[in-house]
Structure 1
Amino acid sequence: MTGRVVVVGAGLAGLSAACHLARSGHEVVVLERGGCVGGLAAVRHDEGYTFDLGPTVLTMPDLIDDALRAAGTSLADELTLRQLDPAYRARFSDGSTLDVLADHAAMTDQIRAACGAHDAAAYEKFVVWLRELYELEMPRFIDRNFDRPWQIADPPGPAVKLLRMGGLRHLDPLIRSRFDDERLHRLFTFQALYAGVSPQQAMGIFAVITYMDSVRGVFFPEGGIHAVPRALARAAEAAGVQIRLRQEVTGLRRTPSGAVSGVVAGDEVVAADVVIATGDLPTMYDVLLPGVRRPLPLRRPRYSPSAVVWHLGTADPAPDDVRHHNIHFGHEWAHSFDELLDERVLMRDPSRLVSVPSVTDPSRARPGGATMYVLEPAPHLGGSLDWDRMREPMKERLTKFLATSGYPTDIVSEQLVTPGDWADQGLTAGTPFALAHTFFQSGPFRPTNVARDAPGLVFAGAGTTPGVGVPMVLVSGKLAAQRALAQLSEESR
């Protein structure tokens, strides 16, 4: 029997879910409140500059291919990707640089020349360890729906191997035990911040993020990151999915037994057998299940830090030594995370990411100019910072950093996004990175993607399983689709 699935939100999670459902034989309708697909992976055009407003670092394109193939097409048919080499240029406070190179042998040679023979040999072993860790984690602990936490040890063999590999040890000492050079410690652990925790707090399992970007590579799509949701939307619609824009969902309809029967969008009730709600998870509970007791991880949540992002279009180009992605490491390290995560103040000596996509695609800037994305980690809301008052001082702070670092500062177009702006977009605590990946907010302990009190309601996105980041959000859509199909199958019996 054919059923209907309504997907709330046409961001990466929602479009992934739609693609994985597209050829299931069920009707699929996507309702998006905005005027275009993409969610946080939006795009802005201004004064001859093009800005990706969401993610800028794209890894694991095979997960995009997975969703596209589910809808009957492929990555090769829908997107043109360019691997960035280097994936990053790391700049350190002593003036030295290290590149994360796409070629394994070249990366090893660079480490040998810059850090010594011991660290070069350690890198060879490190890559093997990372690959084994990823191959263990992805099918058994990431790309999998859990109904109960104990299922993480069923079967026990992979869980035991994960423990033996150091998956539950802290990431920082794991890396320090392998490499002597402090620069490599930072280069291979900063990714923990993507998961909302410091390298000192992060578990070893999050080294898979290092594997995704430092080993498997970082890519840039023709047309920018926003081209990814556009491709997913095209594939879904070609496979029969309806995508309806400017449809804000404001409520849930349920049967007398409590099961989902539809959603309210404007003046219309859109009937549904299953609803997949994407986006900020606490917001979805507020909108769809007001008054319902939230799952345990959402009752006393710990949120990831936020970020200040400054989108800039400059008249002058970036210097010749600038790459697509540039990480500027401050002199301070461990104490900076204390300031960010515990004291909830701006870091006195922050590390920052500067992405300059016009280095790869000059069409994203005016002729002779540059398009830049400057990110500084910042505390999520709840601290003492007043972001309305902090806007201009933050611009001055970042302008000084750019000038000191050799970037152009003759600004033609700009948009500053603060934690307050993220909150205005409906993101709880003013962070686009959702719940931090602490032990009890990761894996089977992360908020489940099914609503126990509302049969037929499924969740996808960074706030639910498996977590934060473009790869994980794409997987979350796939897992939500599996949940939806299982519920439809149950209803048809």
Structure 2
Amino acid sequence: MTVAQRLSLADPAHRDQVPPGQVPPDPGPPDPARPHAVVIGAGVGGLSAAALLAARGYGVTVVDPLEAPGGRACAHRQDGFVFDAGPTIITAPWLFETLWKDCGGTFADDVDLRPCLPFYRVRFDDGTWFDYSGDRAAMEAEVARIDPVHGVAGYRGFMEESRRIYEVAFEEMADKPFHSLAVTAKALLGLVRLGGYRSVHSVVARHFRHEKLRTLFSFHPLLIGGNPFSATSFYCLIAHLESKHGVHYAMGGTNALAAGIANLVRRNGGRIRLGETVETILTEGRRATGVRLASGETIPADIVVSNADPAITYGKLLAHLPRRRWTDGKIGRGDYSMGLFVWYFGTSRRYDAVHHHSMIFGPRYRGLLDDIFHRRRLAADFSLYLHRPSAVDPAVAPAGCDSFYVLSPVPNLAGNADWASEADIYRRRIERRLEETVLPDLGRHIVSSRIATPIDFRDRLHSFQGAAFALEPKLLQSAWFRPHNRSEELDNLYLCGAGTHPGAGLPGVLCSARIVAGLVPDPVTLKAREGQARGGQT
């Protein structure tokens, strides 16, 4: 059975009908007739889980410390510019269309999604460019420019292998819970046959001889926090996923997508409490019973869903609980994703030669990744992802201006970078690199600027070690080995988001939410069970 065949979970009888495109008011207190779910974190995973649970008949309260819903997918608004704070690349749009359908809405009524063509423009350090797209003929022509002898055959072989991995790792596994070693062993056996024990780069290197092509077709794990030289080859599926479903942009930014999911929550009677921080998950024995906020307020719940980093869920929110699997020691021994340095800036002129999504590779590939993931030191060089949404969206910048963000992978806070003193120095180095490559005379035209370092990810987004994508997606930190969607530590506690199965990226966190929605008890059954328990106590 494929992902598409397992998607419909919601009961239309529970939907509160609100006209499409309208923002419903926050409802009052939860209906006592409904079982109550508290969702910790209003990231895309948490919002999606909340929307599905509300549509199924749960009373839902989402709690988040930020000023707007979205988590990493919220927006910074300043000086007339809109900067997406985190994810900017939307793939597998049908997952969102089905989410809207299951929650009583129509995706196109709330979100204006546009295809990006090409997907990315890639600049190599010698100044050559590659237009990366899902058009096979165009891709073969681009590949042949770099390696006219072996390139096209390598591309065809790689895309066929990517398709085979996709059909198992995504279509069969992405929305399945992995709570049983037996189930995991059976699933992984199929993936081992496909070479899941190998790294992404090793698979790519089997197909391509030219180093530029090896770089080009192996960088994708970096978009979800993985080192291409150690991320399991399962993530080779991304090439086929993009080719099949495309790369898209939500007008207004990815934050508009998050806002749309938040409205699904509200339309189905859920509440979203912003500017509130969960301090502790309340427990009785081995059951989660609610949360306590930093203000001291307690919110009782029949189930708790955590969209927080699992290291924070277990290591901080459940610090009082003796844990059997996710102990402080195990959390500390995990391998975590890299950190990110993000510079958001607006310019007083437009750079119309710059594409929507650009990858700007530096002089090193493996050496730079070793510095980031293993030596954990801030290197003198970098590779960059440059996002220019104003190329297609006039709403994100004042007239005649451009809105940008540039992202540089850096070590997480397990490294020794002193961001308090180095952040602006690093920003100025990136500015010079952009001036030399794609944005001439940039310094004279900057009119708005802000930065985010791994410290911001730790303090603002509550990411363990400031890692931008939680646990690194290695083989023994995937599927069963990743924090489970149904907690191993507590009954009535569920986890979704980048740090749990199936992993980071918008498709991954949405699938994690759907897994949670399929694991929680039916609300009618749960309410009846509670009534029986109370009757027995009486």
2:447 aligned with 1:419: no
Distance in 2, matches of 1:28 and 1:59, equals 28
Distance in 2, matches of 1:432 and 1:392, equals 20
Distance in 1, matches of 2:59 and 2:265, equals 12
Greater alpha carbon shift after TM alignment, 176-185 vs 482-491: 482-491
User: Which residue, 324, 328, 331 being the options, matches 1:298?
Assistant: 331
Distance in 2, matches of 1:143 and 1:289, equals 26
Unpaired segments ≥5 residues, structure 1: none
Contact 1:273 1:488 in 2 (8 A): no
Residue 248 (structure 1) aligns with = 277
User: Which residue, 53, 73, 98 being the options, matches 1:41?
Assistant: 73
2:111 aligned with 1:76: no
Return closer, same or farther for 1:391/1:160 CA change in 2, 3 Å cut-off. Answer: closer
2:519 aligned with 1:483: yes
Return closer, same or farther for 1:93/1:373 CA change in 2, 3 Å cut-off. Answer: same
User: Which residue, 388, 394, 404 being the options, matches 1:362?
Assistant: 394
2:293 aligned with 1:231: no
Write the letter of the residue equivalent to 2:53. Answer: L
Shift of 1:418: 1.0
Residue 157 (structure 2) aligns with = 125
SS of residue in 2 equivalent to 1:45: strand
2:374 aligned with 1:342: yes
SS of residue in 2 equivalent to 1:476: helix
User: Which residue, 120, 138, 160 being the options, matches 1:106?
Assistant: 138
Residue 429 (structure 1) aligns with = 465
Residue 503 (structure 2) aligns with = 467
SS of residue in 2 equivalent to 1:177: helix
Shift of 1:348: 3.2
Q: For each residue in 1:100-138, what CA deviation from the matched residue of structure 2 results, as whole angstroms up to 9, or x when unmatched?
A: 123232222332344325322332333232222112112
SS of residue in 1 equivalent to 2:486: coil
Greater alpha carbon shift after TM alignment, 294-303 vs 430-439: 294-303
Distance in 1, matches of 2:487 and 2:281, equals 12
Residue 188 (structure 1) aligns with = 217
Q: For each residue in 1:334-361, what CA deviation from the matched residue of structure 2 results, as whole angstroms up to 9, or x when unmatched?
A: 1111111111112333211111111121
User: Which residue, 272, 297, 307 being the options, matches 1:278?
Assistant: 307
User: Which residue, 233, 238, 244 being the options, matches 1:209?
Assistant: 238
Write the letter of the residue equivalent to 2:60. Answer: V
Contact 2:135 2:243 in 1 (8 A): no
Shift of 1:27: 1.9
Write the letter of the residue equivalent to 1:95. Answer: G
2:361 aligned with 1:333: no
Write the letter of the residue equivalent to 1:180. Answer: R
Write the letter of the residue equivalent to 2:278. Answer: V
User: Which residue, 2, 7, 10 being the options, matches 2:42?
Assistant: 10
Distance in 2, matches of 1:186 and 1:489, equals 52
Distance in 1, matches of 2:225 and 2:495, equals 20
Distance in 1, matches of 2:265 and 2:50, equals 6
Q: TM-score, normalised by structure 1?
A: 0.93
Write the letter of the residue equivalent to 1:210. Answer: A
In the TM superposition, what are the counterparts of 1:317-328 in structure 2 within 5 Å?
317-320=350-353, 322-328=354-360
Q: For each residue in 1:194-240, what CA deviation from the matched residue of structure 2 results, as whole angstroms up to 9, or x when unmatched?
A: 34332222221111233333553211111111011111111222222
Shift of 1:80: 1.1
Q: For each residue in 1:69-120, what CA deviation from the matched residue of structure 2 results, as whole angstroms up to 9, or x when unmatched?
A: 2211232232111110011001011221111123232222332344325322
Write the letter of the residue equivalent to 1:433. Answer: F
SS of residue in 2 equivalent to 1:40: helix
Write the letter of the residue equivalent to 2:493. Answer: L
Shift of 1:489: 4.6
Residue 381 (structure 1) aligns with = 413
Write the letter of the residue equivalent to 2:105. Answer: T
Residue 261 (structure 1) aligns with = 289
SS of residue in 2 equivalent to 1:23: helix
Return closer, same or farther for 1:445/1:57 CA change in 2, 3 Å cut-off. Answer: same
Contact 1:433 1:462 in 2 (8 A): yes
User: Which residue, 446, 449, 454 being the options, matches 2:490?
Assistant: 454
Distance in 1, matches of 2:524 and 2:412, equals 38
Write the letter of the residue equivalent to 1:301. Answer: G
Greater alpha carbon shift after TM alignment, 451-460 vs 243-252: 243-252
Shift of 1:23: 2.3
Distance in 1, matches of 2:315 and 2:414, equals 19
Shift of 1:16: 0.8
Residue 205 (structure 2) aligns with = 176
Distance in 2, matches of 1:225 and 1:153, equals 36
Write the letter of the residue equivalent to 2:495. Answer: F
Contact 1:259 1:456 in 2 (8 A): yes
2:478 aligned with 1:442: yes
Return closer, same or farther for 1:93/1:152 CA change in 2, 3 Å cut-off. Answer: same
Residue 312 (structure 1) aligns with = 345
Distance in 2, matches of 1:38 and 1:200, equals 31
**Root mean square deviation of aligned Cα:** 2.2
Unpaired segments ≥5 residues, structure 2: 1-32, 530-538
Shift of 1:488: 7.9
What percent identity do the matched residue pairs reach? Answer: 33
Contact 1:100 1:214 in 2 (8 A): no
SS of residue in 2 equivalent to 1:141: coil
Residue 372 (structure 1) aligns with = 404
Return closer, same or farther for 1:26/1:47 CA change in 2, 3 Å cut-off. Answer: closer
Q: TM-score, normalised by structure 2?
A: 0.86
Shift of 1:31: 2.2
Return closer, same or farther for 1:170/1:267 CA change in 2, 3 Å cut-off. Answer: closer
SS of residue in 2 equivalent to 1:54: coil
